[in-house]
Amino acid sequence: MSRFLYFLIFTNMMAIITTPIPRILLVQSADGAIGSMIIGTLAGVLFTYITVKFFAQFPGMDLIDLLQTYTSSWVRIPITIYFTIFWFIAGLITLVMTVFLLITFLTPEMSIYIITLSILITVFFGVLLKSKSVLFTLEIVFILMIPVGLLMFFKLYSAPEVEWDQARLAIMHINQVPKYGSIVATIFVFLGCSNLIIFNRYFKEKQKVSLLSLGAITLFGVVMLVTSYFIPIGLSGFDRIGQLIFPWTSSADAVRMKFGLIERVVFIFMFIFVTIAFVSIIIHWHISYKLILSIFRLKALQVKQQNFTPFLVVTVFLLIGLWITALLTQYELYQYTRYYYYTIPLFIAVFFLTMMAIKRGASK
Amino acid sequence: MTESKKPEMPPFMKSISEALPSSFDVLHVPLTLDDAHVHLLYMKTVVDGLTLQQSIIKPFYELDDERKFGAYIQGLPNRLDPPQPDELLIMLTSGFVLVYADSTYSILEIRKLGNTLQGPTISETTIHGPQLSLSEDLETNVSIVRQHYHQPNLYVETHQLNDKSNMSIALLYDEKEVNVDVLRRVKEKLDGLDEPLIQSAGELAVRLTSRRFTLFPTSILTERPDRIVYNLTGGKIILLVDNSPYAIVLPVIFFDFMVSMEENYHTYVISLYNTLLGWFGLLNCLLLPSLYVAFTAYSPEVLSSELTLTMAGSRIGVPYPSFIEVIIMLFFVELLTEASVRLPRSINAAATTVGGLILGTAATEASLASNVLIMIIAIVAISTFVIPMNELGFAVRIVRLLIILFTTLFGLIGLISGLLLLIVHLTNMDSFGEPYLRIGWRGKRSEKMVNSE
């Protein structure tokens, strides 16, 4: 598998800290979260396997090409619109959550519009990049984050503040019946490979899915899930963890680095996760933007050789982002995000049906 | 020889001579011995007089026969058939001699070479590497490269710029390693150049980039022969310009700017350490002023409490917000840096030391800047010079201001945002079709073409 595919998958996994997923899981910690995570992981890895296998059959072609070549337009347009919305909301959730995180922990006195704007300026240029450059940006950011990430894992797993007894207490609840909400939230962690629908254009060599690469993906996903689930429990205790609004960040604030320049390590963690969130928003919205542009391009915005539709689309994205961020409360974000995750099985169904339609078109 | 005795100029030479301006250095020299007549037309100031005397005038009187002399001229290695009159005029101005002998015209290259002296390296000094830079003469430079790189697949193509300077440039590449697409693109760019006057390698490098407003250079200017050869083996294209001691290296990726040639002359660990120092310097230079703004004005709680208190204590009495403080002090340091470049060598050390020391002490004593900031500014000023390539240093100095602006507006998150924006900008750029910022993994053959540096 290409290293960029790993980056896409891993970034999606790391970005869960800046989504409500840890909270969704922790709220149900006494209610089947662990079982749900196991089922979700298995389903997610299976999804990854099938998706990568499917796109490996069409090296160098993205979903837009495939739909245009092998299906009729009454299949193509609804599917493209559905995927556009799906990816847009995925980026939106990360954006809103990141802004809430920042306004709570870093700059409580700043206006929410200014914080959102500071993110959106960079996102604007990031989304408008060539897809190839998005991958390069992703790679650079990912590699820059590795040393900080290693420090983070080292600090978290060696911190004396983490009560592993509490984590063991949580494991005792493995026998509860898994819940739908937690399962789909876990599956979302593994959806990173679906970004191939645009980026497959740059994977010109045939991808081979070996057992080792699937193992690496599973391992990284499990580590991220364990970090986002058991570390807060270990730090804040099992009983009341469901009452925290930002369970992960609030709990990680307990870890100290006594001799470091930055004593509260949570800021280093936030640095990683905010940066990853930036990239995650860029990736999701870039896909959304590419999809929408494949079905609509305004002739009115043609000035000489430059068409300004891309700028219009991204500006609309940003305005919606700004509006929604200012509109939502923490509680609403949590609720709506849950509804969004509830539709993931529908998404997977549509995704697989599209694949089948393309395969049927291709075999003709 | 009086005017009346001067033999009649042959008609073609006459027309050429009339097209030339009547300046003092245009010479028409008729050589006459018995009934042998030979005519020379050249410009004295660009032709090497001694060689002319040795290879044309002396043999004429020794051979004593027009036919034999004609054959001798025909056999000279630097002889060409005369081209079209327009082109011929340009050739005459660049050191060619038009010879009429035995009723044929020949054109001989007897050029007075420019500055063939190799000076010491100035902008990229190393301790262990070669100490001499390129000269200011194109042929000498090509020969320097050839002497460093004994390979039959080193191709040298010469072009002539079609601007007013009509400067010759040489395109050097290793035919086995070069990326053909890039080569084609560079040639297209060279042919499409539409500039009234190009005088140096730096100017040509700027004109070759397609975007008008760029901050980061898309080619390296180097004066080191070893860097040229190093890049040739990496499949890059070298452009040498006549009268310029700098060579242009294309295409480049961002990481090329972070390579100092010194790193090749040390053991692995030492060069790794040097590379890391370079990167650390780059980060310092980019981030330290913005971090100061972010930590004093927006998020003091991020740092450990002792450090925060030290910084706050140092800022007691400073009457304006920290970003004004940073911008004022940075501006002074930029002035100092610029002054030290412009001043003559003999006094610049004194001027900058005195300027820096007095300014720093006085600013803190007048509580116009905090002590911590003076330290940061000093570190930043030094770090700028750790960056191996000068051109990147300039770009970083400007980007730093933009990141300070972002931090001033948005705080710590603005710093992250600005840094990401920089990365996004760099990945979006390309140098002659090659992505500018990307990580080239050395092991992969498919990516080795441009990234072997």
pLDDT per residue over B254-285, tens digit each? 888 888 888 888 899 998 998 899 999 999 99
Question: Would you call B425 and A125 a contact, using CB atoms and an 8 Å cutoff?
Answer: yes
If you write DSSP's letter for every residue of A131-187 in order, what string do you get? Answer: HHHHHHHHHHHHHHHHHHHHHHHHHHHH-TT--HHHHHHHHGGGGSPP-HHHHHHHH
Tokens coding B341:
């470049």
For residues A14 and A273, the answer to whether their CB atoms sit within 8 Å is yes
Amino acid B133: pLDDT: 87
Contacts of B132 (CB under 8 A, 6+ apart): B118, B119, B120, B121, B225
Q: Give chain B positions within 8 Å (CB) of A122.
A: 417-418, 420-421, 424
Q: Does residue B7 have a pLDDT over 80?
A: no
At how many degrees (to 10) do helices A33-56 and A344-363 cross?
Answer: 20
B303:A263 CB<8 A: yes
Which residues of A fall within a CB distance of 8 Å from B416?
271, 274-275, 278
- Find the range with the poorest average confidence among B26-40, B292-306, B315-329, B439-453: B439-453
Nearest to A255 by CA among A281, A229, A278, A234: A234
The one-letter code for the residue type at B294 is A
Contact A106 B412 (CB under 8 A): yes
Angstroms from A78 CA to nearest CA on chain B: 32
A258: closest chain B residue by CA: B304
Neighbours of A101 (CB within 10 A): 20
The answer to whether B436 faces chain A, any CB pair under 8 Å, is no
**Greatest CA span in chain A, whole angstroms?**
67
Closest-CA residue to A107 (of B263, B75, B102, B294): B294
Q: How confident is the model at residue B4 (pLDDT cuts 50, 70, 90)?
A: very low
pLDDT for B447 beyond 70: no
End-to-end CA distance of chain B: 64
pLDDT of residue B451 exceeding 50, the answer is no
Domain count, chain A: 1
Window B:376-435, CB contacts with A under 8 Å: 406, 409-414, 416-418, 420-421, 423-425, 427-428, 435
User: Phi/psi of residue A129, each to 5°?
Assistant: -65, 165
Q: What percent of chain A has pLDDT over 70?
A: 100
- Best of B409, B412, B427, B437 to substitute, by most chain A Cβ atoms within 10 angstroms, is B427
Query: Cα(A311)–Cα(A317) distance, rounded to whole angstroms?
Result: 10
CATH number, residue A76:
1.20.1740.10
Instruction: State the Cα–Cα distance between residues A287 and A281, nearest whole angstrom.
Output: 10
A28-43, pLDDT tens digit by residue? 888 888 999 999 999 9
Q: What is the DSSP letter of B181?
A: H
Q: How far is CA B140 from CA B28, B97, B143, in A?
A: 29, 21, 5
Give B 284-313 residues with CB within 8 A of chain A: 298-299, 301-305, 307
Domain edges within chain B: 11-109, 138-251, 263-431
Q: At B77, is the pLDDT very low, low, confident or very high (cuts 50, 70, 90)?
A: confident
pLDDT over 50 at A26, yes or no: yes
pLDDT number for residue B442: 53
Tokens 């990365």: give the residue. Answer: B423
Q: Does a cis peptide bond (omega within 30 degrees of 0) precede residue B251?
A: yes
Res B282: pLDDT: 93
| Mean pLDDT (whole number) for B123-129 | 81
**B299 and A107 in contact by Cβ < 8 A?**
yes
pLDDT at A321: 94
Nearest by CB to B428, which of A121, A129, A260?
A129
Residues of A whose CB is below 8 A from B435: 132-133, 136
Q: How far is B304 from chain A (nearest CA, A)?
A: 5
Whether the predicted pLDDT of B148 surpasses 90: no
What single letter denotes the amino acid at residue B185? R
Which has more confidence, B96 or A348?
A: A348
In the 8-state DSSP scheme, what is residue B75?
T
What's the mean pLDDT in A318-343? Answer: 92
Q: What is the largest CA-CA distance in chain B?
A: 102
- Do the chains contact at A129 and B412, CB–CB below 8 Å? no
Which backbone phi and psi does B43 adopt, to 5 degrees? -110, 125
Residue of A nearest to B305 (CA): A263
d(CA B436, CA B60): 59
Supply B128's token pair. 């262990």
Task: Identify the top-confidence range among B258-267, B304-313, B353-362.
Answer: B304-313
Cα separation, B384 vs A15, whole angstroms: 35
Contact indicator for B82, B104 with CB cutoff of 8 Å:
no
Which pairs count as long-range contacts for A251-255, CB under 8 Å and 24+ apart, including other chains? A252/A156, A253/A105, A254/A159, A254/A161, A255/A155, A255/A156, A255/A159, A255/A161, A255/A162
Helices vs. strands in chain A: H and E counts, helices first: 16, 2
pLDDT > 70 in chain B, percent = 95
Choose the closest CB to A121 out of B411, B417, B438: B417
**How many CB atoms are located within 10 Å of the residue B34 CB?**
8
CA distance A274 to chain B (A): 8
- φ, ψ at B24 (rounded to 5°): -65, -25
Please report the residues numbered 281 through 300 in chain A whose beta carbons come closer than 8 angstroms to any beta carbon of chain B: 282
CB contact under 8 A, A126 and B413: no
**pLDDT value for A241:** 86
CA distances from B398 to A132, B338, B393 (A): 27, 14, 9
- Taking only the tens place, the pLDDT of each residue in A237-257 is 888 888 888 888 888 888 888
B437-B439-B443 Cα angle (round to 5): 145
User: What whole-number distance in Å separates Cα of residue B127 and Cα of residue A229?
Assistant: 55
Compute the nearest-CA separation of A265 from chain B (Å): 9
Domain region containing A115: 3-363
CA–CA separation, A147 and A170 (whole Å): 30
Distance CA B319, CA A331 (A): 43
pLDDT for residue B430 is more than 80: yes
Helix-strand-coil split of chain B, %, nearest 5 = 50, 15, 35
Per-residue pLDDT tens digits for A289-316: 999 988 887 777 777 777 888 899 999 9
A206 three-class SS: coil
Read off the pLDDT of each residue in A152-164 and give the average, rounded to a whole number. Answer: 89
CB A34 within 8 A of CB A170: yes
* Secondary structure E strands in B225-287: 237-241, 247-250
How many other C-beta atoms lie within 10 A of the C-beta of residue B378?
A: 14
Q: Which three-class secondary structure state does DSSP give residue B87?
A: helix
A56 exposed, middle or buried (CB, 10 Å; 0-12, 13-18, 19+)?
A: middle
When scoring B423, B438, B441 by the number of chain A Cβ atoms within 10 A, the one with the most, hence best to mutate, is B423
Which among A104, A267, A87 is positioned nearest to A194, based on CA atoms? Answer: A87
Q: Is some CB atom of chain B closer than 8 A to the CB atom of A130? A: yes
Residue A74 has pLDDT above 80, yes or no: yes
Q: What is the average pLDDT across A138-150? A: 91
**What average pLDDT does chain B have?**
84
DSSP summary character for residue B135: -
Distances from the Cα of B155 to the Cαs of A143, B152, B176, B362, in angstroms? 38, 8, 10, 59
Contacts of A110 in chain B (CB under 8 A): 410-411
**For the segment A263-278, what is each residue's pLDDT rounded down to a tens digit?**
888 888 889 999 999 9
Tokens linked to B233: 């083996």
Q: Using N-to-C axis directions, what is the helix angle for A63-70 and A266-295, rounded to 10°? A: 20
Return the amino acid letter for B220.
I
Residues of A in contact with B298 (CB under 8 A): 107
Is A328 in contact with A340 (CB distance < 8 Å)? no
For residue A156, give Cα distances in angstroms to A153, A265, A268, B22, B305: 5, 9, 12, 85, 22
* Residue B98 confidence (pLDDT) above 60: yes
Residue with tokens 């602006």: B405
The C-alpha of B280 sits at a distance from chain A's nearest C-alpha, in angstroms, of: 13
